[in-house]
Every structure is written in C-alpha cells, then in structure tokens.
Amino acid sequence: MPGLSTNASLRRPTSEVLETISRVLEPYIGKLMARTAPSAQCAELGIRSAVMDGSQIEALLEKLGLALIIFLGRDKAATVVVAMRQAIESLGETRA
C-alpha cells in the first residue's frame, strides 16, 4: 500500500502494536477479525519477538492493507493503513 513508510529505527512492543492495530480495525471489520487478522499475519511473516522494528511493522501494515482492499476498497484501505501507522508511531518508544 502506498503511503508514508514507518521509520526503520522505530521499535514498539509487539503486543502494543497488535492492540493498536486491532483498535483501529475494529470499526471496519469487527472485533473478532480485528483481533485475529493482525496476529495471523504476524505468524505468517515470522514475527515472534516481543518487540517489532519499523521494517516488521511496515511489512505487517502492507499485508493487512492488501487484505483490507477486499473489505473496504483500495482508497478506504489506504486511509485505514495510514491511521494504523499513525497510531503505532504515537506509542511510546521502546529501547533495546
């Protein structure tokens, strides 16, 4: 999905990233899908660490954005991806 990419040096706790994504997605795809889709995509991407870096976050947002096109259409999916990205970037920074 086109848009501003997540800063590669960004690091956020995986649990907080998934919770934030779920909160943004819930109004669009419902609570169950909003909770399970991000976790399933993390597993598919091989993301299992407690902290995600910017490239992992961006890969997750890319996969979710492509799936959202089916439910929301290309323009609305892009808008939701931007909202997810902004919400994640506003979380507190994690230092490794």
What is residue 92's predicted lDDT score, i.e. its pLDDT?
Answer: 72
Q: Is 96 within a domain?
A: no
Query: Across residues 58-69, what is the average pLDDT?
Result: 96
In a domain, residue 94? The reply is no
Q: Is residue 4 part of a domain?
A: no
The mean pLDDT value for 44-67 works out to: 95
How would residue 14 be classed by pLDDT, with cut points 50, 70 and 90? very high
**Assigned domain for 18 exists:** yes
Is residue 60 in some structural domain? yes
CA distance 21 to 39: 10
52 in Cβ contact with 11 (< 8 Å): yes
Mean of all residue pLDDT scores within the chain:
89
Give residue 75's domain range.
11-89
Is position 82 within any domain? yes
Number of domains in the chain: 1
Count of CB atoms within 10 A of residue 43's CB?
10
Q: 87, 26 in Cβ contact below 8 A?
A: no
Q: Is residue 6 part of a domain?
A: no
Instruction: Say which residue, 93 or 90, is predicted with more confidence.
Output: 90
- For residue 95, tell me if it sits in a domain: no
In Å, how far are 49, 60, 86 from 81, measured between CA atoms? 22, 10, 9
pLDDT band of residue 10 (cuts 50, 70, 90) is: confident
